[in-house]
Amino acid sequence: MRLFITGAAGFIGSNYLRYVLDHSDDTVVVFDSLTYAGNMASIEDVLGSRATFVHGDITDRAAVRTAMTGTDAVVHFAAESHVDRSISGPDAFVHTNCDGTNVMCDVARDLGVERFVHISTDEVYGSVEQGSSVETDPLDPRSPYSASKAGSDLIALSYHTTHQLPVLVTRASNNYGPYQFPEKVIPLFTSNLLDGLHVPLYGDGLNVRDWLYVDDHCSGIDTVLRSGVVGEIYNIGGGNEITNRELTDRLIGLCGRDDSAIDYVEDRLGHDRRYSIDCSKLRDLGWDTEQDFAEGLERTVGWYRENRPWWEPLKVRQ
């Protein structure tokens, strides 16, 4: 199979590219606009006969069509994804996430691709005070980022209903692992702690997130690509719900620091209290997580400790 992967120079996309090359005989066209969060250093070592790179923007219909022609399936990661940036500058999120997804789906429809996997987030369900979200729950996004992702989900699914485009949607919980841009909490806190700096913890630190190791996310996406039912949505979660304060404490311990490194800062506007998703539907396809959270976090901190040349230039650019 020949895959067309958008956003594959970013965090999850670059890890998925590696997963595909390691677990299949597929060839890949990587399509990425190389915004601040896209980094050729994350993928250049795996480009070659089975993976080629095309520099392009998902809102550019002509560029998308040229690059997508001749591919069998699309895995669509490309998106603006940082909540804080969406609060201060929402226009780019609506343009990339909604307009870009519309272009992607329309071109894929016209070219007759066989599968179209749209990558989304559990944040579209909004804050979950009790229980866990299932795929049929109403959407209740509470930030410009999550609203733009909810909109992109609906755009993609509408192409299945209207045009029979073979769309599948995945909604994952918070990811962690190597090659994550250091504006997100785990690489930001880890790199700050390794450099002897403080870490900014929002509010009371009791917001709850479910942490999913990126390789487990990649295996979930691949399961949906190859075995999922067209037109369906699949949650992908790690089953590791902890508060941000507990996460911070774990990172402090792994980096050899103490509580004096924590700076409590004013809470994020509209900060969702808890995310939680039920992944039974995906598990019914035979998928499950493999990475233990404590070991995965230690492995991740070790990667950042050993790969300063990758993240230090990115922190200067922030």
Task: Just list the catalytic residues.
Answer: 122-123, 145
**Do 99 and 249 contact (CB within 8 A), yes or no?**
no
Q: Where are the beta strands (DSSP E) in the chain?
A: 2-6, 27-32, 51-55, 73-76, 115-121, 167-172, 174-176, 199-202, 208-213, 233-236, 241-243, 262-265
**Do 81 and 145 contact (CB within 8 A), yes or no?**
yes
- Read off the DSSP letter of residue 41: G
Q: Please state, in angstroms and rounded to a whole number, the distance separating the CA atoms of residues 50 and 68.
A: 15
What's the token pair of residue 134? 């299932």
**Do 285 and 227 contact (CB within 8 A), yes or no?**
yes
What's the token pair of residue 199? 């870490």
Distance of CA 81 to the CA centre of its chain: 8
Nearest by Cα to 220 from 8, 12, 4, 5: 12
Q: Dihedral of the CA atoms 220, 224, 228, 230 (nearest 10)? A: 140
What's the token pair of residue 282? 């995906």
Direct distance between the N- and C-terminal alpha carbons of the chain, in angstroms, rounded to an integer: 38
Stated as kind and residue range, the H or E segment containing 163 is helix 144-163
